C-alpha cells in the first residue's frame, strides 16, 4: 500500500506532471485549487468525512463513515484501500487539520485475492449484469466498500465535482514509480452510481477527456436497477388503493389471515446491537445455504460486518431493525437504513415454519405501514428486480457502471 499521506503526483504537484500532455493542462489548472494525496481510510478524520457527506448531493447511508468502517473491519483482508483526499491549494495537507475538501473512496483488488479462495467476496450477479467482463486476475479499482453497498459516489461539494473528478483521473493516469503497489491498474470499475448523480457525469467527462491520450476505453453500462416506491399523499390507504386489483385483494386477504392468527404487532427495535443475532437466525432460517450468514469464513465476515454496523450506528443511528410479532412470536424481521423521509430496505428474513401466514408479504406490508405512519415518503427497495417489489407500484431507477480499461 502507499504510505500514509503519500502524494499523488498526477493530480496536483508543482513542476512537470507525470500524466501525458493531453492531461497536463487540466491537471495544472486543478493544482491551482486542489491537491490530492492517498490517505488510508483509518487516517481520514471522521468530522471531515461527516462534513463532506452532508454536502454531497447523492450521499446515502452506504457512503457514510459507519458503513465504510464496518466494511473494512469485516472484509479488510479481501481488498486494499486507495482513498484519495483533496485539499484546498492554500491549506495544509495534514488530514487531521480539517482542510479536506473532497474524498474519493476507492479500493483496489483482484476478483479473487490470493488469500481469499475460501471466502471470496464477489459482486452479486444480476439479470442486468453488464456485458463487459474482467479476467479474475485483473487488478481493478472500485469504489470503497462497494461490494456490499447499493449506492456509491464521491464525497464533495457540487461546486468541486469537476475538479475532483479531473484530479482523480490525473492521479490514475500518472506514470507509476518503480515498485508502486497501487498502479498500474488493469481496470477502473466504478459501480453503484445513480443515473442522476452529478458525480457520474463529472467522472465520465473526465475519463473520456483523458481516454485518447491514455489509450483508455471508457464504457458506460447499466449495472442494475433499484425499484423505488413513492408514497401517495394519502398514506397507507391510498397506497393500498393504488395497487392492481388482484394484488390489493391478495394483500388484504393475507393480512386478515395473519390477524386472525393472534395479536399482531410490528415494532422497530430501539437498540440494534442485541438484535443482530436474532436477525441472523431468522434470515438463515428463511434462506439457508443461499443466505448471507452460512457457517463458512465468508458467512463469518458477513456476521462481523452486520455486528459492526449495529455497534457503529447505535441507538440514534440510521440502521434500524424491525420485527413482526404474532402473539409475541417473531415471524418476520427487517433491516433498513432510515434517513429522514427515505428508507432503504436492505434485507429481511421470515420463519419458514409459518409460511401459511405469508410472513414475507405481510411483514413488508406491516413494515411499510409503520414507516408511512412515521413519515416515510420514499421507500427504496435497493438493488434487484425481484417481482414482489413491483406489486407495490415501484418504479425502476437505473444503477450505472463506469468502466475504464486499457486499450
Residues 41, 173, single domain; the answer is yes
CB distance 172 to 141 below 8 Å: yes
Domain containing 303: what range? Answer: 232-376
Could you tell me the pLDDT band of residue 83, with boundaries at 50, 70 and 90? very high
Residues 272, 340, single domain; the answer is yes
Greater pLDDT, 3 or 398: 398
pLDDT score recorded for residue 200: 98
Residues 301, 362, single domain; the answer is yes
Residues 16, 75, single domain; the answer is yes
The pLDDT of 218-238, averaged and rounded, is: 96
Give me 392's grid cell.
407495490
Look up the pTM and report it.
Answer: 0.87
User: Does residue 48 form part of some domain?
Assistant: yes
Residues 202, 343, single domain; the answer is no
Neighbours of 29 (CB within 10 A): 12
Question: What is the CATH classification number for the domain harbouring 238?
Answer: 3.40.630.30
Residues 121, 207, single domain; the answer is yes
User: Does residue 396 form part of some domain?
Assistant: no
Residues 87, 177, single domain; the answer is yes
The pLDDT of 35-40, averaged and rounded, is: 90
User: Does residue 28 form part of some domain?
Assistant: yes
Q: Is residue 232's pLDDT more than 90?
A: yes
Strands (E), 327-389: 329-339, 342-350, 378-380
CB distance 172 to 180 below 8 Å: no
pLDDT score recorded for residue 28: 45
For the stretch 172-195, pLDDT in tens is: 998 655 545 455 899 999 999 999
User: Does residue 387 form part of some domain?
Assistant: no
The pLDDT of 354-380, averaged and rounded, is: 96
Rounded distance, CA 58 to CA 151, Å? 9
What distances in angstroms separate CA 101 from CA 57, 184, 377, one per listed residue? Answer: 15, 26, 32
For the stretch 248-291, pLDDT in tens is: 999 999 999 999 999 999 999 989 999 999 999 999 998 888 88
pLDDT score recorded for residue 116: 53
The pLDDT of 55-83, averaged and rounded, is: 96
Residues 134, 210, single domain; the answer is yes
Distance between alpha carbon 349 and the CA centroid of its chain, in Å? 21
pLDDT score recorded for residue 149: 96
Greater pLDDT, 363 or 28: 363
CB distance 343 to 337 below 8 Å: yes
Q: Which of 342, 337, 346 is nearest to 375 (CA)?
A: 342
Q: What is the dihedral of CA 188, 191, 197, 201, to 10 degrees?
A: 30
Residues 6 or more apart from 182 whose CB is under 8 A from it? 1, 2, 38, 80, 82, 108, 176
pLDDT score recorded for residue 175: 60
Rounded distance, CA 367 to CA 268, Å? 9
Rounded distance, CA 300 to CA 292, Å? 9
Residues 238, 188, single domain; the answer is no
Residues 202, 247, single domain; the answer is no
User: Does residue 381 form part of some domain?
Assistant: no
User: Does residue 90 form part of some domain?
Assistant: yes
Q: Is residue 382's pLDDT more than 70?
A: yes
Question: What is the rounded average pLDDT for all residues in the chain?
Answer: 86
Q: Is residue 32's pLDDT more than 50?
A: no
pLDDT score recorded for residue 31: 43
Rounded distance, CA 399 to CA 343, Å? 18
Domain count along the chain: 2
User: Does residue 63 form part of some domain?
Assistant: yes
Could you tell me the pLDDT band of residue 132, with boundaries at 50, 70 and 90? confident
Q: Is residue 6's pLDDT more than 50?
A: no
Q: Is residue 119's pLDDT more than 50?
A: no
Residues 205, 315, single domain; the answer is no
393 in the Ramachandran plot: left (φ > 0), alpha (ψ -120 to 50) or beta? left
User: Does residue 218 form part of some domain?
Assistant: yes
Residues 170, 54, single domain; the answer is yes
Rounded distance, CA 204 to CA 209, Å? 8
Amino acid at each position: 500500500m502507499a504510505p500514509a499521506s503519500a502524494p499523488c503526483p498526477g493530480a496536483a504537484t508543482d513542476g512537470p506532471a507525470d500524466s501525458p500532455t493531453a492531461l497536463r493542462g487540466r491537471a495544472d489548472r486543478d493544482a491551482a485549487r486542489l491537491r490530492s494525496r492517498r490517505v488510508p481510510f483509518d487516517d481520514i478524520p471522521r468530522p471531515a468525512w461527516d462534513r463532506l457527506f452532508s454536502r454531497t448531493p447523492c450521499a446515502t447511508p452506504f457512503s457514510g463513515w459507519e458503513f465504510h468502517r464496518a466494511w473494512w473491519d469485516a472484509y479488510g483482508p479481501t481488498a486494499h484501500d486507495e482513498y484519495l483526499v483533496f485539499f484546498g491549494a492554500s491549506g495544509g495537507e495534514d488530514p487531521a487539520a480539517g482542510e479536506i475538501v473532497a474524498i474519493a473512496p476507492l479500493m483496489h483488488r483482484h476478483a479473487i485475492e490470493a488469500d481469499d479462495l475460501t471466502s471470496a467476496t464477489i459482486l452479486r450477479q444480476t439479470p442486468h449484469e453488464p456485458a463487459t467482463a474482467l479476467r479474475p486476475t485483473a487488478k481493478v479499482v472500485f469504489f470503497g466498500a462497494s461490494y456490499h453497498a447499493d449506492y456509491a459516489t464521491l464525497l464533495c461539494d457540487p461546486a468541486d465535482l469537476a475538479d475532483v473528478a479531473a484530479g482523480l483521473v490525473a492521479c490514475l493516469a500518472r506514470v507509476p514509480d518503480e515498485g508502486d503497489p497501487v498502479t498500474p491498474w488493469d481496470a477502473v470499475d466504478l459501480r453503484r452510481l445513480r443515473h442522476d448523480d452529478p458525480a457520474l457525469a463529472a467522472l465520465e467527462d473526465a475519463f473520456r477527456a483523458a481516454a485518447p491520450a491514455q489509450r483508455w476505453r471508457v464504457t458506460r453500462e447499466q449495472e442494475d436497477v433499484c425499484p423505488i416506491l413513492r408514497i401517495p399523499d394519502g398514506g397507507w390507504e391510498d397506497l393500498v388503493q393504488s395497487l392492481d386489483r388482484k394484488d390489493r385483494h391478495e394483500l388484504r386477504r393475507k393480512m386478515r389471515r395473519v390477524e386472525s392468527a393472534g395479536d399482531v404487532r410490528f415494532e422497530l427495535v430501539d437498540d440494534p446491537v442485541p438484535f443482530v443475532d436474532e436477525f441472523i437466525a431468522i434470515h438463515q432460517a428463511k434462506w439457508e445455504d443461499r443466505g448471507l450468514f452460512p457457517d463458512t469464513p465468508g458467512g463469518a465476515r458477513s456476521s462481523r460486518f452486520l455486528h459492526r454496523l449495529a455497534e457503529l450506528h447505535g441507538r440514534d443511528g440510521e440502521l434500524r431493525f424491525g420485527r413482526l410479532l404474532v402473539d409475541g412470536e417473531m415471524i418476520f424481521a427487517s433491516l433498513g437504513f432510515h434517513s429522514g423521509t427515505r428508507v432503504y430496505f436492505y434485507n429481511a428474513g421470515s420463519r419458514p415454519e409459518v409460511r401459511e401466514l405469508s410472513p414475507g408479504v405481510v411483514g413488508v406490508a406491516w413494515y411499510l405501514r409503520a414507516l408511512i405512519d412515521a413519515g416515510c415518503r420514499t421507500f427504496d427497495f435497493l438493488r434487484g428486480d425481484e417481482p414482489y417489489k413491483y406489486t407495490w407500484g415501484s418504479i425502476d431507477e437505473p444503477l450505472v457502471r463506469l468502466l475504464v480499461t486499457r486499450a
